[in-house]
Chains A and B, each alone.
Chain A
Amino acid sequence: MKALSEFKKALIISLWFMLLTFPIMVIRVNTIEKVVEWRWRNMAFIGIGSFLLSFVWRYLLGRKEKGRKLAEAGSVEARPFSRRLLDEPRIYRPALAAVTLFAVAFPFLFSSYQTNIMTTALMYVMLGLGLNIVVGLAGLLDLGYVAFYAVGAYSYALLNHHFGLGFWAILPVGALLGVLFGILLGFPVLRLRGDYLAIVTLGFGEIIRLILENWNEFSFGPSGIANIPRPGLFGIQMSLNEATIYLYFLMIALCLFTIFVVNRLQDSRIGRAWIALREDEVACQAMGIDKTKTKLTAFALGATWAGMVGVIFAAKTTFINPASFTFLESAMILSIVVLGGMGSIIGVILGAFILILTPEYLRAFSNYRMLLFGTTMVLMMVFRPQGIVTNVRRIYKFRARGRDGEPSQA
């Protein structure tokens, strides 16, 4: 009986979606040649797809509900996978070694086209880690993160164009400008509630893009800036291939640096304050934490990385224009954080690789890139809001009860 009613439900859902998607999926009009194209096949796909997916959907919802009930009943949660991984040096040490080896060998094993893609993925790792400070740790939904990225890219392009400054001189400048803009844009929005903050940051992001697009005297408008030099290395002349490999290793180094810093920040007095702020703003303040200062630090330190990646982006593509800095870019970075797991460094790294590399390597997916990002955000929120890698809290060691003399992990 139950199976039958489940079947009936799925059938209704399938019919509903066939009807719902009918005009958009089936009919396509060519208004110039006045012909209508009827794509009945799509309707069949939708019908079968939604029929099957409705089972998966309800199964997953049921599972989530069950998990919640178990937690409410007070039964102990299973240790999250990430914790088990961290507790087991025999697993993570060889894994780390293998990843390192692969990363070092990559540009020599694969073409420079592949290396370029990897470099892009690493850039998104860095962007994701930066945004993770703001969204994942401090719980401030920043939808205008791309603004800081644009600031970095344009600071390199413009300072190079006008004053001939080189990549290495601008990289720290990009980071500093990121901090500066983070504070500048962060300051007015701090009093706002979560969702209003999201919209205002979105507004700021768009304002900066529109200014870049329209203020021709300053930014060369929509046509952008070309001939931006690639990063140099003590003035050595490099072939295009060498430059690609150089940039790749540069990105690896920067990512390691980012991971190091973000990890230390997360495990510090400031990092704890961010998380506390995310968890309960009022209680956090009542414990003596200055809300404004804490939020500003999060904004500024998150923006730093975007500023730096912006400089690298300009150097990598040698051409920038405002079209690279739309809201969709912010949304992409956000979906990396959401997929990875808010506050989890490993998660964000994995998230970036999954979301950037999947459309690149599975050609079939390349057109569905943004569709993938949108779907990720919805599905993760509905089924696994903590992300693919649950953030584990640190275990502290104290003098009063030395934990079996184990050295405290940094």
Chain B
Amino acid sequence: MDYFLELLLGGLTRGSIYALIALGYTMVYGIIELINFAHGEIYMIGAFTALIVASVLTMNGMTGISVLILASVVAVLYSAAYGFTVEKIAYKPLRQAPRLSPLISAIGMSIFLQNYVLLAQTSDYLPFPNLIPVLPFMEPYSQLMGSTELVIVLTTTVVTVILTLFIKFTKIGKAMRATAQDRSMAMLTGVNVNRVISNTFIIGSALAAIGGVLIASHVGRINFYIGFIAGIKAFTAAVLGGIGSIPGAVLGGLVLGWTESFATGYVSSDYEDVFAFCLLVLILIFRPAGLLGRSTAQKV
């Protein structure tokens, strides 16, 4: 029973991270129907930025929670800037192009960013300091769930709630929803579609950076390649929940997290990534609209 609980909580942590990254995929897809392949790399860059900032700060004698906060803030800002720039370079010129063009461009961008970090930093794994402080009240439960894991789950919850409220009630959020529904109609009613798309990339990238800082603390090491697998898995989560839907992304993330956790726990840990890929393939083939998505009629 303890083992089961351990896997359940492990899956929850994992799933929360997937959900955070999946939100970025789902938002971008909802608005411009593009699988932003480079999203995983934005998350990786977020983790790297946080590591660099945290290292510089600790070497200059700073300690404690302020390192976490500063590193996270810088990582979020930088990831957002990268997301914004990537969109301007690789996707904006391709608004009118056939569907496959921006997708190929996105794959190119993803490879570019991976190798940019590889060349400018290192190809080795870098140890990532756990920036999240140990919470004393979690001490008795540390067998089941550490402080880091608790922070991860709580952060995801808070971020999702804020994001949902933001999209529902703010002006930017409303413009985003309008653009997602019908881009040309939104444009006619005075929505600046280019700005909406930029905003979407900025928000999605910022969320990815939060995910990057959290998971790097959780796993304890990073390299330039972490974005690829994380990206695919988060995309799986987004599709699983129904791409374009925010609660769907969270649900998808959790389902994927639990699937992986239980499958590796009870079946075999060798095939950890295979489970995610199989889930992805099965979902796309049998229920491409996802768990919460609606299928739309083909327009002729």
Binding site for B on A (CB under 8 A): 16-17, 19-21, 23-25, 27-29, 31-32, 34-36, 42, 61, 139, 141, 143, 188-189, 191-196, 198-200, 202-204, 206-207, 210-211, 214, 282, 327-328, 331, 334-335, 338, 367-368, 370-371, 373-378, 381-382, 385
Closest chain B residue, CB of each to CB of A206: B277
Q: Could you tell me if B45 and A189 are in contact, using CB atoms closer than 8 angstroms? A: no
Which among B45, B97, B100 is the interface contact of A24 at CB below 8 angstroms? B45
Supply 17 A–B pairs (Cβ within 8 Å), ascending by A: A17-B85, A25-B120, A29-B52, A29-B55, A29-B56, A29-B59, A35-B59, A36-B56, A198-B103, A199-B35, A203-B284, A331-B111, A334-B107, A370-B115, A371-B115, A381-B101, A382-B90
Which among A20, A24, A200, A368 is the interface contact of B285 at CB below 8 angstroms? A200
Q: How far is the CB of B102 from the nearest CB of chain A, in Å?
A: 7
State A331–B103 Cα separation when bound (angstroms).
12
Given contacts A207-B278, A282-B300, contact A36 B59 (CB under 8 A): yes
Q: Could you tell me if B112 and A192 are in contact, using CB atoms closer than 8 angstroms? A: no
Q: How far is the CB of A105 from the nearest CB of chain B, in Å?
A: 36
Closest chain B residue, CB of each to CB of A216: B270
B181 at the interface (CB under 8 A from A): no
Q: How far is the CB of A291 from the nearest CB of chain B, in Å?
A: 13
Which among A32, A203, A374 is the interface contact of B108 at CB below 8 angstroms? A374
State A203–B90 Cα separation when bound (angstroms).
24
Q: Could you tell me if B49 and A188 are in contact, using CB atoms closer than 8 angstroms? A: no
Q: In the complex, which of the residues B101, B111, B117 has the most CB atoms of chain A within 10 Å of its own CB atom?
A: B111
Across the interface, which residues of B come within 8 angstroms of A195, CB to CB? 33-35, 99-100, 103
State A195–B114 Cα separation when bound (angstroms).
21
Q: Could you tell me if B281 and A211 are in contact, using CB atoms closer than 8 angstroms? A: no
Q: Could you tell me if B277 and A203 are in contact, using CB atoms closer than 8 angstroms? A: yes
Q: Could you tell me if A214 and B271 are in contact, using CB atoms closer than 8 angstroms? A: yes
State A258–B94 Cα separation when bound (angstroms).
33
Q: Could you tell me if A24 and B93 are in contact, using CB atoms closer than 8 angstroms? A: no
Q: How far is the CB of B41 from the nearest CB of chain A, in Å?
A: 10
Q: How far is the CB of A2 from the nearest CB of chain B, in Å?
A: 22
Across the interface, which residues of B come within 8 angstroms of A206, CB to CB? 232, 273, 277
Q: Could you tell me if A214 and B270 are in contact, using CB atoms closer than 8 angstroms? A: yes
Q: Could you tell me if B284 and A192 are in contact, using CB atoms closer than 8 angstroms? A: yes
Which among A28, A327, A378 is the interface contact of B112 at CB below 8 angstroms? A378
B293 at the interface (CB under 8 A from A): no
Mark contacts of B88-100 with chain A using CB atoms, 8 A cut-off: 1 yes-contact digit, 0 otherwise: 0110011001111
Closest chain A residue, CB of each to CB of B271: A214
Q: How far is the CB of A377 from the nearest CB of chain B, in Å?
A: 3
Q: Could you tell me if A370 and B285 are in contact, using CB atoms closer than 8 angstroms? A: no
Which among A194, A199, A207, A335 is the interface contact of B100 at CB below 8 angstroms? A194
Which among A207, A282, A374 is the interface contact of B111 at CB below 8 angstroms? A374
Tally of B interface residues using CB under 8 Å: 66
Mark contacts of B13-57 with chain A using CB atoms, 8 A cut-off: 1 yes-contact digit, 0 otherwise: 000000000000000000001110000000001001101110110
Q: Could you tell me if B121 and A141 are in contact, using CB atoms closer than 8 angstroms? A: no
Closest chain A residue, CB of each to CB of B102: A381
Q: Could you tell me if A381 and B97 are in contact, using CB atoms closer than 8 angstroms? A: yes
Q: Could you tell me if A374 and B115 are in contact, using CB atoms closer than 8 angstroms? A: yes
* Residues 63-78 (chain B) with a chain A CB within 8 angstroms: 74, 78
Q: Could you tell me if B35 and A23 are in contact, using CB atoms closer than 8 angstroms? A: no
Q: Could you tell me if B300 and A200 are in contact, using CB atoms closer than 8 angstroms? A: no
Q: Could you tell me if B285 and A192 are in contact, using CB atoms closer than 8 angstroms? A: yes
Binding site for A on B (CB under 8 A): 33-35, 45, 48-49, 51-53, 55-56, 59, 74, 78, 81-82, 85, 89-90, 93-94, 97-105, 107-122, 126-127, 129, 228, 232, 235, 239, 270-271, 273-274, 277-278, 280-281, 284-285, 288, 298, 300
State A23–B298 Cα separation when bound (angstroms).
46
Across the interface, which residues of A come within 8 angstroms of B298, CB to CB? 282
Q: Could you tell me if A20 and B82 are in contact, using CB atoms closer than 8 angstroms? A: yes
State A193–B284 Cα separation when bound (angstroms).
10
Across the interface, which residues of B come within 8 angstroms of A191, CB to CB? 285
State A210–B280 Cα separation when bound (angstroms).
15
Q: Could you tell me if A374 and B284 are in contact, using CB atoms closer than 8 angstroms? A: no
Closest chain A residue, CB of each to CB of B55: A29
Given contacts A206-B273, A371-B112, A378-B90, contact A334 B104 (CB under 8 A): yes
Given contacts A374-B109, A374-B115, A381-B97, contact A207 B281 (CB under 8 A): yes
Across the interface, which residues of A come within 8 angstroms of B278, CB to CB? 203, 207
Closest chain B residue, CB of each to CB of A68: B96
Q: Could you tell me if A189 and B285 are in contact, using CB atoms closer than 8 angstroms? A: yes
State A42–B90 Cα separation when bound (angstroms).
23
Across the interface, which residues of B come within 8 angstroms of A211, CB to CB? 274
Q: Could you tell me if A204 and B281 are in contact, using CB atoms closer than 8 angstroms? A: yes
State A155–B278 Cα separation when bound (angstroms).
23
Across the interface, which residues of B come within 8 angstroms of A16, CB to CB? 85
Q: Could you tell me if B59 and A34 are in contact, using CB atoms closer than 8 angstroms? A: yes
Q: Could you tell me if A335 and B108 are in contact, using CB atoms closer than 8 angstroms? A: yes
Which among A20, A31, A42, A328 is the interface contact of B85 at CB below 8 angstroms? A20
Q: Could you tell me if B89 and A378 are in contact, using CB atoms closer than 8 angstroms? A: yes
Which among A21, A194, A367, A371 is the interface contact of B99 at CB below 8 angstroms? A194
Q: Could you tell me if B270 and A139 are in contact, using CB atoms closer than 8 angstroms? A: no
Q: Could you tell me if A371 and B274 are in contact, using CB atoms closer than 8 angstroms? A: no
Q: Could you tell me if A199 and B284 are in contact, using CB atoms closer than 8 angstroms? A: yes
Q: Could you tell me if B300 and A24 are in contact, using CB atoms closer than 8 angstroms? A: no
Q: How far is the CB of B198 from the nearest CB of chain A, in Å?
A: 14
Across the interface, which residues of A come within 8 angstroms of B274, CB to CB? 207, 210-211, 214
Q: Could you tell me if B111 and A370 are in contact, using CB atoms closer than 8 angstroms? A: yes
Q: Could you tell me if B49 and A331 are in contact, using CB atoms closer than 8 angstroms? A: no
Q: Could you tell me if B119 and A371 are in contact, using CB atoms closer than 8 angstroms? A: yes
Q: Could you tell me if A141 and B103 are in contact, using CB atoms closer than 8 angstroms? A: yes
State A188–B119 Cα separation when bound (angstroms).
39
Across the interface, which residues of B come within 8 angstroms of A368, CB to CB? 115, 119
Q: Could you tell me if B55 and A31 are in contact, using CB atoms closer than 8 angstroms? A: yes
Across the interface, which residues of A come within 8 angstroms of B34, CB to CB? 195
Which 8 residue pairs across A and B have the least CB separation, nearest first? A377-B108, A374-B112, A374-B111, A29-B55, A381-B105, A378-B108, A214-B270, A371-B115
Closest chain B residue, CB of each to CB of A64: B93
Given contacts A27-B56, A28-B121, A31-B127, contact A377 B281 (CB under 8 A): no
